[in-house]
Amino acid sequence: MNAAQKPPAIEAEHLVRRLDTEEVPVTLINDVSLRIERNEFVCIMGPSGSGKSSLLYLLGLLDMPTSGSLRVDGVETSGLDDDAITDFRLAKMGFVFQFHFLLAEFTALGNVMLPMRKLARWSDEEAQARAMALLDRFELKAHAHKHPSQLSGGQRQRVAIARALANDPLLVLADEPTGNLDSASSANVRDLLRDLSREMGKTVVAVTHDAKFASVADRRIAIVDGRVDADWQPG
């Protein structure tokens, strides 16, 4: 199957995510349908509480919809059990969050190797070589044997991006990846994520409040009250 014949990275139809509380039901995502192509860099924007992170968690299979359909790389995910979802997510997706969530007891190299060890697709020697190559790509090779406490905020987030790429995923999903960084580190992370799409062929979906961050995306999706309010390409 050539690139033109491959399915979109994401196809969502009529997604709803509702919380049935004891008082009144709360609808986080309300009838969202969207299609994200392979290699696209998409930013999801919206005011606080609009549902943008809730949508990202649905797209990343970190949460499941109350109703609707979600296909990732052509696979209908609603029929997958918990173990299959975990395996699918590990193989197809990498995640970057506002707070890096690196494990303090592991070095930068060890943190990047963790997803590969879980997937068990490569030997430990191969996983180490892959992890070092990723750290080198993000100018972190000299820091490979340092623990997170020995790294700057920007360096820790670059390690987190390297970890997200460890299993060569189709999708990289980022939730406010620059929200805890200074302006210089934010610009660096923004450019790295853009390059994942343009140079490495990844599909990148990022939630952000930062207009400068979103300005380099191929496409912006605005979420208001759990619905898609606008969907456009900058230019």
- Convert 19-41 into a string of H (helix), E (strand) and C (coil): ECCCCCCEEEEEEEEEEECCCCE
* Mean pLDDT (the chain, rounded): 90
Domain ranges in the chain? 38-66+79-232
Average pLDDT of span 52-75: 94
Enumerate residues 6+ apart whose C-beta is below 8 A from 76.
Answer: 69, 70
How many C-beta atoms surround the C-beta of residue 103 within 10 A?
13
- Lowest model confidence (mean pLDDT) among 37-41, 47-51, 131-135: 47-51
Determine what percent of the chain falls in helix, strand and coil, rounding each to the nearest 5: 40, 25, 35
Q: Concatenated DSSP letters for 199-218?
A: TT--EEEEE-S-HHHHTTSS
Q: Considering the chain, what percentage of its residues have pLDDT values greater than 90?
A: 66
Q: What is the pLDDT of residue 1?
A: 47
| pLDDT tens-digit series, residues 108-136 | 999 999 999 999 999 999 999 999 999 99
Distance CA 120, CA 101 (A): 21
Q: What is the pLDDT of residue 3?
A: 52
pTM (2 decimals)? 0.90
Q: Which CATH architecture has domain 38-66+79-232?
A: 3-Layer(aba) Sandwich (3.40)
Is the pLDDT assigned to residue 235 strictly greater than 70? Answer: no
Q: What is the pLDDT of residue 215?
A: 87
Q: What is the pLDDT of residue 133?
A: 96
Q: Residue 177: phi, psi to the nearest 5?
A: -65, -15
Is the pLDDT assigned to residue 142 strictly greater than 70? Answer: yes
